[in-house]
């Protein structure tokens, strides 16, 4: 998920602020065998987290069930030399494909960067484990990372409810 992605790129979060709320009090299932069933929404379904990684590195994470469709990038990273944006396309009858867009400040233009087709998501963890066993490198999915992600998830509603920034205690 997005929180794992951004921490794998930028490292541990030092502090966070958040906004959170319930956008719809009731939802109705739109597909599958329970189509039409009413669900009373009991928790926040629309949250925005502002994450501080230190050294003037920040991220915004939109965690919501309130967006039926979007053309916004799934991930966008801005730096002093340019921007990376990841979007996806889904060819008819095919799995979705990532598209990496690169903007270089010095050239002043966007271009698509070729990326290798990724294996199915369900295989990535196993492939990484095999690679670690063969190379002797440590596995990226550690207990410390898991504990850090749980702390972020638990702190976000508190930060939103209390309207404050929360300093995090864990790292990885």
Place of tokens 């930028």: 10
Residue range 52-79, pLDDT digits in tens: 999 999 999 999 988 888 888 999 999 9
User: In the structure, what pLDDT confidence band is assigned to residue 3 with cuts at 50, 70 and 90?
Assistant: very high
**pLDDT for the residue 155:** 98
**pLDDT for the residue 117:** 77
Place of tokens 């966070």: 16
Mean of the per-residue pLDDT values for the chain?
93
Give the DSSP H or E segment for 113: strand 109-113
CATH topology of domain 2-167: Dihydrodipicolinate Reductase; domain 2 (3.30.360)
């Amino acid at each position: 998920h997005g929180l794992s992605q951004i921490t794998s790129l930028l490292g541990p979060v030092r502090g966070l602020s958040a906004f959170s709320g319930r956008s719809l009090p009731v939802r109705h299932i739109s597909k599958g065998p329970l189509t039409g069933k009413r669900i009373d929404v009991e928790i926040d379904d629309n949250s925005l987290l502002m994450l501080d990684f230190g050294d003037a590195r920040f991220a915004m994470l939109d965690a919501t069930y309130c967006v039926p469709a979007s053309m916004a990038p799934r991930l966008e990273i801005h730096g002093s030399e340019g921007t990376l944006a990841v979007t996806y396309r889904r060819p008819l009858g095919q799995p979705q494909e990532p598209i990496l867009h690169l903007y270089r400040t010095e050239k002043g233009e966007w271009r698509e960067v070729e990326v290798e087709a990724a294996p199915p998501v369900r295989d990535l963890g196993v492939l990484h484990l095999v690679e670690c066993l063969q190379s002797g490198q440590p596995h990226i999915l550690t207990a410390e990372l898991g504990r850090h992600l749980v702390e972020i998830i638990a702190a976000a509603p508190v930060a939103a409810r209390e309207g404050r920034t929360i300093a995090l205690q864990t790292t990885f």
